[in-house]
Structure 1
């Protein structure tokens, strides 16, 4: 399919013309949520814009101040409604985010700056533009990606005030069926007003993995592409769009051949997904009886629905960062316990592996004052933060231990790089157990403890580290970056990020062997676990479980059920002898062809 699409693109100038006035284009972005979607472009236009606000002078300063105060009050009322809508749609979206918007509206310093600008002769609108742009610029200059994304929130507050100043009502956002939402960016307000049921795709010019839009799109399984180059100047209202959330490509008014190929892909994709549904109650078992557990990676309570829908046998990675990143301040023990308890109960007795806080690098909570680091991926992050803030860390450990009394819970520590770190983390866990016991609070003192293997030093120390824990989980996202010295978010070097690099395969094999040698179980929770071309190798290495985005569980199960464990072991043995990525991929392509499952590649990656 990929070769056919490339051939059509090369001959596009000989194909039929697009509709009059409709340009044709192929746009590149970043895949944010998988799947294919086709529909009519709906351009999300803000009802007001600071670009249209001119530097007008105030005729009566006091009247301008009164208008501003009235707009601020109206905005506070609207935020109360927004908070209610968002809490219904996404429980983890702590109301504290909206409270932070409200606090900005009620902040005396913000009000003083606005009034000072009016006092200097500006109209209320011009003063608002001046102050909001100053605030936004402060966020945009921040090195941390998560905080840069919060500039959108500041702009959202400013536009809300501006709209009320101008007397423009908050717009409804009705969408026709099969719409593709096209926007420069999405704000919290937009997300609360959009009927996601009518969306068959989302395309954004900006945004990243920490953007609110990406998080929601994954939860609702809407094919999404973000960071799409030349989007706004290319796409018009009503354009025919194909959104390929697997590869990060968007076709604008595609030629018939391209559209036909995607129609075929979508039909095959839907038919195959329906066929995979028949596997839901069957185990991930090879033809000669080797079983793997297939777990879901989740970060939101909304993900539980997807985990059940796609037949997850449990949660192999519950990312706890989201509440920490969205709350105004460090969540207390009860707030954390309530969230963890909902996940444990929601999995109805299936195992849940809760990873402790893994912030830093590209994500810090706004309430943490962190100095700029030249290389945050090698800086103060993850378990390093937790161990330097033991009182906060123990709050989380206590909440997890209490939730563990409700079901099968495992605790997992991220980014362990030394024996000293895992021992210190375990010491704090023991302290938390002792505190709960002395208080007479119900908890599970026998909870299993594991660690992520995601830095090269942990691979080198695997034989020593496995003695300290009950299990390993290989976090390939960071491990590959560190092993290959590749920042996959850097487009210049992203192609070098390669899960099937011989060094990566050797490292994974080494970790599995260390765990097996100690009689412990070992899994994988990085994106490599969901990569269809990697499945045969990981199966052959002897991993006990694979944890992935719920969407990929059925197809990985299908591959496992299509092969014998003996054959997979032979494949794994052979690739370990290969010296290049090209050799490995060619060999695996041939292997999947011989098994009759090569079509999974084009549909899922």
Structure 2
């Protein structure tokens, strides 16, 4: 047997035959012509690609359609494809001009990291789709037609290629590179397709049609004969029974073996989740990422934001809802707001640092939050806080927003104000902040502590080994919270990983805010956990 390891991107287990997805296109036999002919050829290929994407978008859910519509918008944007036209006019063939132009775009997106890397995969998707039409390949229907419960292995699996497969055609996915934050991983999770990424080049040795088992819960892929792989499904049966029991009990409180009640809250990326998500398993909303209101290039007005926050409060049914102020910049650029061309966006004007240059955007959000707070248990949280002065300035901004609303007779309330702990300085100086609660954002905290980009799969082992250093900083925040008698929670990816639950509980964390899909496994990890030192507190 041959064992391969990657990073879990969408949980689940599967066994099946391998289907190797080739991402390269064949240029053999392509005869370039004059610039006018090459331009016309590229225009036709782009039109065919746009039509394919729109046809796909018409048959998928809203989340998937948003990704495809973003790709269509890129192909419709003259600025996006301008470099390709210039290269054609300079005498390059359509395929060379297209790849050269989009390789430059992909490089720029990858340099941004995080969510920008997800956009890089979207651009790569477009590049390959148009290339297939340039070379007359079109959509590989022979591959789509023979797929039935297969385990896809690919260097790069793009969102639109995944969506071309019929439901049930794919049993699991393993890729050479990639990030769990990519759009194709998001789609795999939404479709309950087990997936691991960052397996490395060794998986290219797995042959088409060979038998493999994929355990995306553990991040493992095993190739071997039928006899060698026979024990795996039997061992999964017991684990599946455990998983089903955890699913059944997810509505119950999370209580450790020592009787310690752990608060389990949910992270919300957008209000669309509310239509399909049951609030019952959660003690509240630990993080509302308000960037979803700013992602269409138009800054939302006060009323639109107020309505969105009211909707979430209504769904929470009296439970606490913690809304994070706009956290733009870094891997979350906002057109018309964030500063373009920064040498390192992760160390630049992001989060609350933008308050200094665009205060009116944040004051609008503060007024909307103060109005919504009059109708429910709403708390406001400040992102990317580095020094106490920043939090004090935001608090003063809220005081002024409330005074302005009250002078106009508008119902409002000063929401409790807390802070994200993402910057090491904030963890080290936690006791000095005038805050009503702390929420540790482990994604950025780990990135800054370990000097390792969180979406760089080649550093996954290093990041895993460094989690203890992150936990020590969390302990400092927990101790500051105890002295100040304020709540401390964790809302980063560590909170969603059941294998990290014990580490966080040992650090003294008593509130976790996590992805909806992780509630059952994390609650079970809490129930299984005991620590004599903590139990004696």
2:262 is the alignment partner of 1:292: yes
Q: Cα–Cα, structure 1 residues 472 and 68, in superposed 2: closer, same or farther, change >3 Å?
A: closer
Unpaired runs of 5+ residues, structure 1, are 1-11, 13-24, 574-605
Q: Is 1:554 the counterpart of 2:527 in the alignment?
A: no
Equivalenced residue count is 531
The verdict on how the C-alpha distance between 1:357 and 1:265 changes in structure 2, with shifts beyond 3 A counting, is farther
2-structure distance, mates of 1:291, 1:436? 39
Residues 537, 568 of structure 1: 8 Å contact kept: no
Aligned match of 1:136 in 95, 103, 115?
A: 103
User: 1:298-337 maps to which residues of 2 (within 5 A)?
Assistant: 298-300=268-270, 308=278, 311-321=281-291, 327-328=296-297
Q: What is the alpha-carbon distance in structure 2 between the residues aligned to residue 481 and residue 160 of structure 1?
A: 34
Residue 489 of structure 2, aligned match among 516, 520, 523: 523
Return the TM-score normalized by structure 2.
0.81
Match of 1:57 among 5, 16, 32: 32
For 1:341 and 1:396, the matched residues in 2 are separated by 13
TM-score (normalised: structure 1): 0.73
1:418 CA drift (Å): 1.3
Residue 246 (structure 2) pairs with residue 281 (structure 1): no
Structure 1, residues 385-410: CA drift from partner, whole Å, max 9, x if none?
34433233344445555665665432
Question: Which of 428, 431, 441 does residue 397 from structure 2 map onto?
Answer: 428
Deviation at 1:224, TM superposition (A): 1.6
* 1:551–1:436 Cα change, 3 Å: same
Structure-2 separation of matches of 1:235 and 1:440? 69
Range with bigger deviation, 70-79 or 214-223? 70-79
More moved, 221-230 vs 547-556: 547-556
Question: What residue number does 1:109 align with?
Answer: 82
- The aligned residue for residue 170 of structure 2 is 199
Distance (whole Å) between structure 1 residues aligned to residue 81 and residue 104 of structure 2: 20
Which runs of 5 or more structure 2 residues have no equivalent in the other structure?
A: none
Find the partner of 2:420 among 452, 455, 462.
Answer: 452
Matched with 2:187 is 216
- Over residues 528-562 of structure 1, what are the superposed CA-to-partner deviations in whole Å (9 max), with x where a residue is unaligned? 43455654565466544112233443344335445
Q: The residue matched to 1:371 in structure 2 has which SS?
A: coil
| Range with greater deviation from structure 2 (196-205 or 75-84) | 75-84
State the alpha-carbon separation in 1 of the partners of residues 470 and 442 from structure 2. Answer: 9
CA shift, 1:421, in A, is 1.0
Which of the residues 426, 439, 463 maps onto 1:473?
Answer: 439
Once residues 335 and 180 of structure 2 are traced to their aligned partners in structure 1, the CA distance between those partners, rounded to angstroms, is 16
Q: CA deviation at 1:419?
A: 0.9
Q: Is 1:226 equivalent to 2:197 in the alignment? A: yes
Larger Rg: 1
Distance apart, 1:185 and its partner CA? 2.0
| Residues 16, 151 of structure 2: 8 Å contact kept | yes
- CA distance in 1: counterparts of 2:279 and 2:410, whole angstroms: 34
1:329-349 Cα offsets, whole Å, 9 max, x none, are 656667766765665555455
Distance 2:86 2:488 in 1: 57
Is 1:241 the counterpart of 2:212? The answer is yes
Work out whether residues 212 and 221 of structure 2, in 8 Å CA contact, stay in contact via their aligned partners in 1. yes
Inter-partner Cα distance in structure 1 for 2:409 and 2:208:
62
Q: Over the residues paired in the alignment, what is the CA RMSD in angstroms?
A: 4.1
C-alpha change, 1:192 and 1:533, in structure 2 (3 Å) is closer
